[in-house]
Amino acid sequence: MKKHIYKVLALSAILSLGACKKDFLNQSNPNAIAVENYFKTENDVLLAVNGVYQSLRSSNTLGENSGLFTDERSDDAGRNDNQSNAGEPFQFNDFSLLPSNSYLRSHWLALYEAIGRTNVVLTNIDKVSFANAATKENYKAEAKFIRAIMYFELVRKWGPVPVVTKQLSTADEVKENTFRVPEADVYNQIVTDLKDALNSTLPNFQTGANIGRTSKAAINAYLGKAYLTMAATLPANKTENISNANTYLMAAYNMKAFGNLSEIPYTDVFDVAKKATCKELIFQISNKQGDISFSSSIAANNQAKGETINSLKPSTGIGGNVKLDLINEYETNDLRKDFSVKFANDPIVKDWFITKFRDASQLATNAGYGGNDWILMRYADVILMLAEVNMLQGNDAIAIQYLDMVRARAGMPLYAVAKTDATYAAKFPTLKLAILHERRVEFAFEHQRWFDLIRNFTAAELVTYLKAKPQSAYGIAKLTNVTTKDRYYPIPFDEVKLDPVKMYQNPGY
């Protein structure tokens, strides 16, 4: 297996070679297999596609421990520690993010490395003869799906970014392709890739050993989310984008293999023993319980000192930090609160920590090798996006029906009843805010909140929304720091330095 491993350098990593001597570039590793010589059999392609999926696991792309780039940017989570690791992780939460931040750069590079892997597959797959043409098209679909969701991460966080859809083999090729393109162009590539992926024979859902690979339900759901985000981000074609969002979200919804969402208990969604059979799950990163290399660490990482609810692995720290602002947003008797968070009484903690992801079984061992799969798309997400779409189309009655599906499963009063409660009505006076609230408590710590905020508010509205929150419920990170520049991340300094014109910095940094 080791001889099949190859590395695809990220965009700026390749470009940086341009300053090296030519004889250095011409050197080769005698034990390495050149990419152009690698693809010979169907199994070679399969291994390369598996390598693409493997890139999803990283904490620097979309893996379970990538919350620094999403949840910790939001009002849900974020560390109260501005000293460790040179204070760089704290910058995300504090809205003091610098272009030189090494975590930011690692995130950018990892996303482009994953894209590079997809491009290698798509550039070389035609060299291989397949016994079944459908198998080849399915591998292409999987690569394009992952390329699309990586670009979806990039465009939502940075806005205009470079778009590359072919293997880059030389520093000159990289330099020619290193320039930011408009957001509309990035979204066009995302939509093109996802629509191409739909023209495959992939199943509606993956089962058994194939859980963790993409499916038509996942592709439709991501197309719906992409169009919904485009409607909020791009002023042109807003009505058409909302309509397209509805089309693809309904396509995903109509593929569901259950009747009512209430048939699936909320706790089942995160139950390690039911991850292969839970009908709510659409796309997930698979982990193997007890395996030192492919297990989940999220349960143990989130556990606070003195607690045992998440994992058998003893904790010496504060666990997964939760902002009091989120705690205060839960409604009375919301079962999702009791399942998702807990107050730790240990003297060094005395704070809320995340309990949503648990594996305290013997099979996970006291080393914390959990079996939690990392869920990237599930049906509650599709349902609440359908509520959002219908609200945007002026179909409030239909939007409320979808909203109530999620509230009913959580044991909460239906919307018509809830809005008669003075506290609920004061906190969520509009249907838009009610849907946003429901997404917040339903998907807490699932790396959704920041994207929900930037989709529902303009940059100026987001500043107003965040600054209206009490500082006492936000932690030591300063809400006064947030400005309209924080809608987007800064382009990493090393990328701007390569070409300050084509890789121009985002405003305010």
- Encode pLDDT of 245-303 as tens digits: 999 999 999 999 999 999 999 999 999 999 999 999 999 999 999 999 999 999 999 99
Q: What is the rounded average pLDDT of the residues 150-172?
A: 96
Contact call for residues 319 and 354 (beta carbons, < 8 A): yes
In sequence order, what are the residues at sequence separation of 6 or more whose Cβ sits closer than 8 angstroms to the Cβ of residue 468? none
Give the pLDDT score at 280.
98
Give the confidence band of 348 by pLDDT, cuts at 50, 70, 90.
very high
Q: Tell whether 469 is covered by a domain.
A: no
Assess whether 279 and 404 both reside in one domain: yes
Q: CA-to-CA distance for 79 and 68, rounded, in angstroms? A: 9
In sequence order, what are the residues at sequence separation of 6 or more whose Cβ sits closer than 8 angstroms to the Cβ of residue 21? none
Give the pLDDT score at 32.
53
Q: Tell whether 245 is covered by a domain.
A: yes
Could you give phi then psi for residue 350, rounded to 5 degrees? 50, 55
Q: CA-to-CA distance for 120 and 439, rounded, in angstroms? A: 37
> Which among 339, 372, 405 is the end of a domain?
372
Segment 144-160, tens digit of pLDDT: 999 999 999 999 999 99
Segment 366-380, tens digit of pLDDT: 999 999 999 999 999
Segment 461-471, tens digit of pLDDT: 999 999 999 99
Could you give phi then psi for residue 342, rounded to 5 degrees? -150, 150
CA distances from 321 to 68, 89, 344, 355 (A): 11, 13, 11, 11
Contact call for residues 244 and 250 (beta carbons, < 8 A): no
Give the confidence band of 22 by pLDDT, cuts at 50, 70, 90.
very low
In the chain, count of helices (H) and strands (E)? 22, 4
Assess whether 140 and 252 both reside in one domain: no
| Per-residue pLDDT at 46 exceeds 80 | yes
Q: Tell whether 483 is covered by a domain.
A: no
Give the pLDDT score at 16.
31
Question: Structural domain tally of the chain?
Answer: 3
**Measuring CA to CA, which residue among 57, 63, 67 is closest to residue 319?**
67
Assess whether 190 and 212 both reside in one domain: no
Assess whether 281 and 292 both reside in one domain: no
Give the confidence band of 399 by pLDDT, cuts at 50, 70, 90.
very high
Give the confidence band of 86 by pLDDT, cuts at 50, 70, 90.
confident
**Measuring CA to CA, which residue among 296, 281, 132, 120 is closest to residue 215?**
281
Give the pLDDT score at 455.
98
Assess whether 236 and 274 both reside in one domain: yes
Give the pLDDT score at 404.
98
Which tokens in the block code for residue 332? 């009375």
Q: Tell whether 454 is covered by a domain.
A: no
Residue that the structure tokens 């292409």 belong to: 140
> Which among 316, 347, 372 is the end of a domain?
372
Give the pLDDT score at 19.
29
Q: CA-to-CA distance for 73 and 487, rounded, in angstroms? A: 10
Segment 329-345, tens digit of pLDDT: 999 999 999 999 999 99
Assess whether 145 and 4 both reside in one domain: yes
Helix axes 216-233, 449-456, angle to 10 degrees: 40
Assess whether 359 and 274 both reside in one domain: no
Better-scored residue on pLDDT, 36 or 173? 173
Give the pLDDT score at 2.
32
The size of the chain, in residues, is 509
Assess whether 93 and 44 both reside in one domain: yes
Q: What is the rounded average pLDDT of the residues 47-74?
A: 97
Q: Tell whether 479 is covered by a domain.
A: no
Give the confidence band of 36 by pLDDT, cuts at 50, 70, 90.
confident
Give the pLDDT score at 25.
30
Q: Tell whether 259 is covered by a domain.
A: yes
- The amino acid that residue 1 corresponds to is M
- The amino acid that residue 364 corresponds to is A
Give the confidence band of 33 by pLDDT, cuts at 50, 70, 90.
low
Average pLDDT, rounded, for the chain: 93
Q: Tell whether 491 is covered by a domain.
A: no
Q: How many CB atoms lie within 10 A of CB 204?
A: 17
Helices (H), 333-414: 335-340, 379-392, 396-409
Q: Tell whether 475 is covered by a domain.
A: no
Assess whether 163 and 302 both reside in one domain: no
CA distances from 385 to 99, 281, 439 (A): 33, 16, 9
Can you give the residue range of the structural domain that contains 398?
204-285+375-447
> Which among 372, 399, 425 is the end of a domain?
372
Assess whether 208 and 313 both reside in one domain: no
- CATH assignment of the domain containing 399: 1.25.40.390
Give the confidence band of 85 by pLDDT, cuts at 50, 70, 90.
confident
Give the pLDDT score at 108.
98
Q: What is the rounded average pLDDT of the residues 211-236?
A: 97
Assess whether 168 and 253 both reside in one domain: no
Q: What is the rounded average pLDDT of the residues 42-71?
A: 97
Grouping H, G, I as helix, E, B as strand and the rest as coil, residue 344 is strand
Assess whether 24 and 140 both reside in one domain: yes
Which tokens in the block code for residue 89? 């992780």
